Each structure stands twice: as C-alpha cells, then as structure tokens.
Amino acid sequence: MTSYRLPPLPGEEIDRAQPISFTWNGKPHSGFAGDTIVSALAAAGVRTFSRSLKYHRPRGVLTASFVDPNCTLQVDDEPNVRAAHRRLGPGMTVTSQNAWPTLEFDVKAANQLVGRFLTPGFYYKTFMSPRPLWPAYQKVLSRFAVGGRTTRDAPHGYYDQRFAHVDVVVAGAGPAGMGAALAAAEAGADVLLVEEEYDLGGHLRWGGADELAALAALRAEIRARPDIEVLPNSVVTGRYDHNWIAVLQRSGLRDSGVVERLVKIRAGVLVVAPGLIERPYVFEGNDLPGVMLGTAVRRLINLYGVRPGARAVVMTANPEGDAAVADLRRAGVEITRVVDARRGEDIRRAIGHGGVREVELGDGTRVEADLLTVSIGWTAPTSLLNMAGNSPVYDADAARFRPGAAMPPDVIAAGGIVGDGTTSDLVEHGREAGREAARRAAGGEPQAIQDLSGARHPEVFRADTHGFVDYSEDVSSKDVFGAVREGYESAELAKRFTTATMGPSQGKLELVNTISVIAEATGSLLADVGTTVWRPPYAPLSLGALAGRSSEPSRVSAMHRWHVEHGMVPLVAGQWIRPDSYGDPQAEARNVRERVGIIDVTPLGKLDLRGPDVSRLLECVYTNTWANLAVGSVRYGVMCAEDGVVFDDGVTGRLGEEQYFMSTTSSGAAAVWEWLENWLQTAHPEWQVHVTPVTTAYASINVAGPRSRDLMSRLVEDVDLSGDAFEYMRVRTGTVAGVEDCLMWRIGFTGELSYELHVPASYGLHVWEALMAAGAELGIAPFGVEAQRILRLEKGHFIVGQDTDGLTKAGSAGLGGLVRLDKDDFSGKPELVWAQGTDAPLLVALQPIDGTVVPVEASQIVVGDRRIVGRVTSSRMSPTLGRSICLAQLAPELADPGTTVTIVRPEGGTIDAVVMASLAQVDPDGVRLRA
C-alpha cells in the first residue's frame, strides 16, 4: 500500500510514536494518534468515502472538517459519524454508509443515468398518488435514503447534563476567540471558551511559522488562567432568549463514562467568534473525489502530514488559495496550473470517473491532474447571531455576508465573522470584544467596539457549467434554476422545494451558493435575495444528549417496600408509584364489603390550614357552606374554577378553632395549594391564614369494611370509637398502634364503615403492619386503587376528571345540593348562577340490561339515528351486584330513572342500559356507611 504520509512537519498534530490500528470496510489499516479517521485513510490513499444521497456518486474529502458533507461514516455501532472531525481510536471498525453492495461498486449509482427524473419535486410529484400506495412507496424509498445503522443491542451509554452560570461564553477559539477569552478573564470575568475542534487555534493551526508562534503564545496564556474553562470538541448549538446558551460537549468525557454532555448556560455575554467557513465553487464535476477546498488541503498537509495528491490544479481568489499553493509545493505535489480568479481566470469542469483525472480550464484547455484545489471565497457562520435577532447583510466588496448592525447588548461578534485582518488584528479585535463583554457582564452600559472591515474579495460563485450547490442533498445549480422556473423564487421556498441547505450541514457550506444561483436565475442582486433564517441547533445534536439523564423524581409512600414485597401491581399516577392492586382487585373489593381492607392513600393531597380567617378562605374556594363547621367535624366540598367547572374535591376537617386539615385529590394537590395561595396573596392579602403542605408529612391509610371498627378498637386506646361517640363525618386525634397524634376521619369513599388515618410518615409502615397483624383474625386484606375504584363506583362517588370533564359545572355533576348560590361569593359563582336551568348533561348511574357486558369507558350513548346524547365515564364489573355498572354523562331529558338508552360499543354493536334512580347502586341509603 502506497503511503501518502509526509515527513514530519512543525505544526502537525499527529503523534508518530503512537500508531493506531483500525479497520475500514473490513480491511486492516493504521494511523497515528491525533489523526482523524479520514486523515488516516487519506494517508493510505483512500479517495472515496461515501456515495451521495440520490445519485450515489462517489464522494471524497471536500473540507476535511466537521462540516465535510462527504465524510459521514459508520464507526462501530455509531452511525453518521463526522469522520473528517472524529479522532481515530484504537480498534475502531469503520465502514461506509449509503453504498450497496460496496463503496467501489454501488448498484444504485444507476440513479445517475435517470438523474433527469430525480429533479427536485420528483418524489412529491411521483409518489403522492394513488394515496393508498404511499406505505409501499415509503418502504422502497427509505431503502434509497439510508444513513447509518443502529442496532437494538448497541450500548446506550451515559449522557450527562450540566448547568452553568458564567459571565462570558466565547464561541470559537481561533485568534479572536482566544483573545476575547484572555481579555475578558483579565478584566475579571469567569470565562467559558468553547471550541468545535479538538485543539485551540482555528486557522492558526495550519498556518506558517509566524502563526504557529502566535498560537503557542496564546495557548500558553490560556493554560495559565484558571478563570478560563476550555471546552474543546464542543459546540455552542443555540443561543436563546436572555442568553440561555446550549453547549454540546463531545469529548474529554469518554474516560469518565460519559458519552456526551449538554451544558445549559445562563451567560452574561456571548462572544461569537467562529471565524469563517470556506465556500465551495459550483462547476461541473465539483463533487469528484480529488476536488478539495484550500483549507482541506492545508489541514491534510499541515495537521496530519498527508499529501493530498500528486498533480494539482489550484484555483485561487484569495490568500488562502495562495497559501495552499505554497503548502502543496512544500508537500512535493506538482502544481500543473494556478488559476487566479483575481485576474479573471476560471475553470470549467473537472473530468474523471471515480475521481479527478483532468481539469478543463476556462479557455477550453485540458490539464492532467488528480487534485483540484479551490479557494474562491468564504461564508460567515452567522447562525448564532441570527438566533440573537441579528440579520446578516451581504457585502459585495468582501463577497460574503457580514453581521448586521442590530445586535442585542449581550451578544458581541468578533474576529473573522466580522472582517479580515492579520493575526494580530484578529487577536486585538477579540481582545476588545472580550474586555467589552466583561464590562457588560459586570453591569456596564454597552459601548460599541471597533469594526473590523472586510478585505476586498472577488465575487466568485459559479463557473459557466452547472455543479452541485448542496452535496449532502445532491442538489445542483441546474435544480435551483429549475425551481425558480417553477416559481420558487424566494430563498425560503426554493430551499424547501429543492431541499438545498436542508441536509446535515444545514447550509453552512451550501447557503450562499444556493442564493447566489437564485439571484442569477431571477436576475436579482444577491443582497436582495437575502438569507434564510437560521434556527438552533447550529450543529447536530444526538438524541441521547438531548434526552440526557432523567431528572424526573418519583414519589412513593412509607409503605412502598411492603407493597412491593406483597406483590403489588404498580400504578404510575403522576409522580406517584402506588399499588393498583395486589393481583385480584375483584377479590380485594369483595373483602372490603364482607370483612375489612386497608388501602394506602398517602398521595392524597393534604394541607394544614391555620389562622383566624381559614373559614373565609374555605367559603371562597368551596361551593358549599363552611362557617358553621364545628370543631371535630369534617365536610365534603367541591372546588370550581372561576368558569364554574369542577376542578377538585375533597374533605376538610376542623381540628381546632383556628386549625383545619384539608384533603385534596392526589393529582390536584399542587394545583389546590397554588389556588389557595392565589386567593390569599392576590385577592385577600389582609386575611390571616397560613397554608402548609403536609402531603408527605403523613402516611395515609383508609381502613374500610364492616369489621373496621373492630379492627380499629384493637389498636386505638384513647378515642371512643363507638358509633354514638365517633359519628360519620367526624374527626378525632389519638393514638394508633402506639403512635401519638394520628388523625382519624370517619368518612367513606368506598361506601363502607371506614376510618381514614393520617399518621406521621415515619410511622406509616409500623401502623400499616400493626393493622395487618391485628386484622389477621378478622380476614383483613390490603386493597389497591383498582378495588377502590370499583367500590366507589358501586357507591356512585364520582372522580374529578374521570366522571367530570372540562365543561362539567358543579350543578351538573349531581352536586346541586352542594352549591350554595346564596353565598355572597365563591370561585365560579357567577357562572353557576347563569348555568341554572340550562340543559347541561347530568351525571347518572346506568346498568346495562345484559349485566355480563362491561361497556368500554368513553363509549358514546346515542338515540335514534345515532345522535350522541352522552357517554359512559366509568364502567366496571361489580362484585357486590354480580353485574356490570356504569356512571355516565347524559342529556337531562333522558336522565329520568327507568329510561332505556343505547350505548355504542367501539368493538361493534350496541347495548341497551337503564338509568338508575340513584348514583349509588350499592347501599343507596348509606346504612353501611353510617353503621
């Protein structure tokens, strides 16, 4: 194998003492530490790295940087690796993508022959009809648009997140960025310096002796400053409002087990110093392997010691191209022709099959060459500035877009993105930006920094032949002309129609060429076509980095371990994980009706309310009356929002003259707390009420069933539990299983004699186990949420949000008696007054005539020609009645008891059901409850 590796060079970043072995498409290769995957392969003479998206044309190195559209490879189980950026690692398995069966012989290259049919809009126009065939089309097309491969067993890796607060973030560590970081730090700011590549320095890295000397000095200064944190191989992916900045950190992490880290930063000032990206030239054959940008050639030679070819034609319009000529000569490459665009010289096409063989010049002469180096202009990556509200302006003299005038005070552009200059000009511009950034971050009034003017540069965009404007999307200048002919004259439309600039490099290489072709095709000035809008992310992010580690907490009660040990079937309810059942909810429900059961209801919202004005607050938030609630009593209440719609319900008890204890639904706990604070802080700040959330300060257990009093009496010493002394809807404080200060409420969601215990959370498990032990001879069994739902449905108790919806006002939920319109004011009162007499749906109980059928919840109820008159809101098999039972919302004219209605079953057919006299279908008179 011929080696294209050059003798050692002064600025090279490879370590020739450290060879690294890897494989490329199954064959063993080796490179050096510091090589990119592509530089190591280029050193071995590899010229073709990929096949293009549509036409499967062979593609080689173009930019030799992260944005290289032709060097996206599969590395081990990671697809779409930017291999001209990613450093070589030992043992890597590198393969090409989008080629079949092999990179050298790709059958889909036949697409080139039908290229004229694959023009923009081809897919839209051809495969849209007939519509039903789309799934079949999609299967075939997706095989043609394949990227890399992922496997299900690929290790997931650990993706981290970090939050940072820094004074100054500097995006880009070229001469200006390094200058900005140093000056900002010297002025007292904390600085984060973010560099997309592995090493600091930008274009100084592949420069001559002077640049290398300047670079070494700058690097040493930065290393010496602990107040500058450097993130190499990291990129600022977005700038959002108030300088909320996202940085993707790609490396320096793998040893710590972190694949990538997303850093979210609130920054004082963002200095944008990304430098410039070299722009490709549009001509026939501009995608042949062997056509490279000047910066690519200079990187390959100076950083990696790779000779990029043997015989070169160089087209140059600027000092970068001139420097490429010098570098190529130094690397022993024969320069067969220098085409100087500043003198009006041009090339016409690159000729070759699988790679450049000849170059046809503007005058028609043909020159033999295997390398065509092109340096015809620059693109300023203004994406971050655009995200900050700045619109770039085209400067015809400099032949590139430059930042516009309107810049928010917390963003400063510096260096090459602004203008041109010598190394020291760029460093000094960065220093000025850094000083100003530190001053503004410390609260100083913004002052303008000096402008850096753009050097004169000829406008060179396209030869007199057509070539690719977008390599990743296989869009040619001819396609853009075609789009304009079809009427897509604005950049935003032509971009979407052709998909130019919409590929993986997101326009960094392609945008300016695309709009220059649009300008040419429409006969307008490039400045008038304008750019398209840049949105985050600036660079691609992996989904892993976005997902990061989960920071969603989950909540469990003090009895959780017991539930797990006793076979709980978990239910995830918001943040809570609680037992849905212990295996057989029907049996659990029967046991409550016949003997006694206990359920963990810790997630119930609990609020401790104290102060002289609590009852006034309760009058405001509940629809019923509270002023007359006696100490020792509890009351059920419904809360409405100001639109009269039911939003929560629960029981509140009065423990003392100025002390109340409120329970809310489990899901509504946070909202009710906020609602109370809202009334206290905004409507009645003069009221003296203290609200303390105690949801997790107490473990809550409901003891339910005919034997619950018997069970309680075995564990409670200091409270008289007899029916006369501790009546239904009363609250007592006492000692349970030796635990003092337990709250006991006699209430019954299940419809049984029951006690709800709120015990200090740390004793929750103790009391639970004591109940289980003491209840053994009474036939105790735990029950879960599902059994509770069955029991409450038998009793006709509704659940907010299940049996009510976003339109259910308090009067229509079967709660007319709980709405006291004679109160002066309460939340939602005006709407409830106006809702009187309207025909809102009513909540009713239904029994399907065939009691073996349990209609699916949300089934529609219809009359006649399938007019919808209601829907089933809850539906279960009742173990007590041995038949199915439902709650439903129903039009009032059909809500009379005994009316037969028709339920449509989503699985097909209908079933008739009868409206019941009472919402409660078990014990409608409440005998069991009040036992």
Q: How far apart are CA 775 and CA 708, in angstroms?
A: 9
Toward other proteins, which CB reaches closer, 262 or 904? 262
Toward other proteins, which CB reaches closer, 153 or 674? 674
The stretch among 41-49, 236-244, 537-545, 772-780 that binds other proteins (CB under 8 A) is 236-244
CA dist 549 → 161, 162, 237, 590 (Å): 7, 10, 19, 43
**Selected binder of other proteins within 240, 717, 802, 926 (CB under 8 A):** 240
Nearest distance in Å: CB 410, other proteins: 11
Is 551 among the residues that bind other proteins (CB under 8 A)? no
Is 16 among the residues that bind other proteins (CB under 8 A)? no
Query: Could you tell me if 93 and 23 are in contact, meaning their C-beta atoms sit under 8 angstroms apart?
Result: yes
Is 829 among the residues that bind other proteins (CB under 8 A)? yes
Q: β-pairing, 234-240 with 228-231?
A: unpaired
Q: At what angle do helices 175-186 and 423-441 cross, to 10 degrees?
A: 40
Q: How far apart are CA 260 and CA 251, in angstroms?
A: 7
Nearest distance in Å: CB 641, other proteins: 9
Is 825 among the residues that bind other proteins (CB under 8 A)? yes
Nearest distance in Å: CB 692, other proteins: 11
**Selected binder of other proteins within 831, 851, 899, 902 (CB under 8 A):** 831
Q: How far apart are CA 740 and CA 123, in angstroms?
A: 75
Q: How far apart are CA 330 and CA 310, in angstroms?
A: 12
- Comparing CA positions, the residue from 670, 669, 671, 657 lying closest to residue 615 is 657
3-state secondary structure of 761: helix
Residues 768-807: x/- map of binding to other proteins (CB under 8 A)? ----------------------------------------
Is 683 among the residues that bind other proteins (CB under 8 A)? yes
Nearest distance in Å: CB 857, other proteins: 30
Query: Could you tell me if 233 and 251 are in contact, meaning their C-beta atoms sit under 8 angstroms apart?
Result: yes
- Comparing CA positions, the residue from 708, 482, 743 lying closest to residue 599 is 708
**Selected binder of other proteins within 738, 806, 830, 906 (CB under 8 A):** 830
Query: Could you tell me if 791 and 588 are in contact, meaning their C-beta atoms sit under 8 angstroms apart?
Result: no
Is 824 among the residues that bind other proteins (CB under 8 A)? yes
Query: Could you tell me if 91 and 22 are in contact, meaning their C-beta atoms sit under 8 angstroms apart?
Result: yes
Toward other proteins, which CB reaches closer, 554 or 681? 681
The stretch among 144-152, 173-181, 198-206, 672-680 that binds other proteins (CB under 8 A) is 672-680
Q: Which of residues 134-163 bind other proteins (CB under 8 A)?
A: none
Nearest distance in Å: CB 470, other proteins: 33
Toward other proteins, which CB reaches closer, 268 or 507? 268
**Selected binder of other proteins within 212, 338, 670, 729 (CB under 8 A):** 670
Toward other proteins, which CB reaches closer, 529 or 662? 662
Nearest distance in Å: CB 163, other proteins: 9
Nearest distance in Å: CB 690, other proteins: 12
**Selected binder of other proteins within 17, 131, 241, 776 (CB under 8 A):** 241
Toward other proteins, which CB reaches closer, 666 or 878? 666
Toward other proteins, which CB reaches closer, 137 or 834? 834
Is 552 among the residues that bind other proteins (CB under 8 A)? no
> Position of tokens 């890399």?
148
Query: Could you tell me if 637 and 649 are in contact, meaning their C-beta atoms sit under 8 angstroms apart?
Result: yes
DSSP bridge partners of 693: 607
Nearest distance in Å: CB 930, other proteins: 36
Q: How many residues bind other proteins (CB under 8 A)?
A: 21
Nearest distance in Å: CB 833, other proteins: 9
Toward other proteins, which CB reaches closer, 686 or 907? 686
**Selected binder of other proteins within 125, 149, 162, 266 (CB under 8 A):** 266
Nearest distance in Å: CB 230, other proteins: 25
Nearest distance in Å: CB 677, other proteins: 6
The stretch among 210-218, 251-259, 554-562, 681-689 that binds other proteins (CB under 8 A) is 681-689
At residue 773, what are phi and psi to the nearest 5 degrees?
-70, -45
Helices (H), 633-700: 669-678
Is 925 among the residues that bind other proteins (CB under 8 A)? no
The stretch among 67-75, 240-248, 552-560, 707-715 that binds other proteins (CB under 8 A) is 240-248
Q: Tell me: cis bond preceding 101? Omega within 30 of 0 counts.
A: yes
**Selected binder of other proteins within 77, 492, 677, 740 (CB under 8 A):** 677
Nearest distance in Å: CB 824, other proteins: 7
Is 409 among the residues that bind other proteins (CB under 8 A)? no
Q: β-pairing, 900-904 with 910-915?
A: antiparallel
Q: How far apart are CA 511 and CA 500, in angstroms?
A: 8
Q: How far apart are CA 386 and CA 240, in angstroms?
A: 11
Non-local CB neighbours of 811 within 8 Å, separated by 6+ positions: 819, 832, 835, 836, 840
At residue 103, what are phi and psi to the nearest 5 degrees?
-60, -35
**Selected binder of other proteins within 152, 242, 343, 353 (CB under 8 A):** 242
Toward other proteins, which CB reaches closer, 674 or 724? 674
Angle at 649 between CA 646 and CA 650, to 5 degrees: 170
The stretch among 449-457, 538-546, 760-768, 826-834 that binds other proteins (CB under 8 A) is 826-834
| DSSP assignment of 402-466 | E--S---TTEEE-GGGT----HHHHHHHHHHHHHHHHHHHTTPPP-PPPP-PPPP-----B-SS-
Query: Could you tell me if 633 and 741 are in contact, meaning their C-beta atoms sit under 8 angstroms apart?
Result: no
Toward other proteins, which CB reaches closer, 676 or 715? 676
Is 406 among the residues that bind other proteins (CB under 8 A)? no
Q: Which of residues 502-521 bind other proteins (CB under 8 A)?
A: none
Nearest distance in Å: CB 808, other proteins: 16
Nearest distance in Å: CB 686, other proteins: 9
Is 931 among the residues that bind other proteins (CB under 8 A)? no
The stretch among 26-34, 434-442, 678-686, 799-807 that binds other proteins (CB under 8 A) is 678-686
Toward other proteins, which CB reaches closer, 118 or 835? 835
**Selected binder of other proteins within 138, 149, 244, 850 (CB under 8 A):** 244
Kindly tell me the sign of the dihedral angle through the C-alpha atoms of 112, 117, 120, 125.
negative
Q: How far apart are CA 73 and CA 144, in angstroms?
A: 17
Return the HEC string of 886-923: EEEEECHHHCCCCCEEEEECCCCCEEEEEECCCCCCCC
Toward other proteins, which CB reaches closer, 589 or 620? 620
**Rounded (10°) CA dihedral 394, 397, 398, 399:** 60
Q: How far apart are CA 871 and CA 465, in angstroms?
A: 68
Question: What token pair was written down for 20?
Answer: 């690294």
Q: How far apart are CA 641 and CA 674, in angstroms?
A: 12
Toward other proteins, which CB reaches closer, 681 or 802? 681
Nearest distance in Å: CB 913, other proteins: 36
Nearest distance in Å: CB 678, other proteins: 6
Question: What token pair was written down for 8?
Answer: 């050692």
Nearest distance in Å: CB 673, other proteins: 8
Chain residues in the site for other proteins (CB under 8 A) = 240-242, 244, 266, 642-643, 670, 674, 677-678, 681-683, 685, 824-825, 829-831, 834
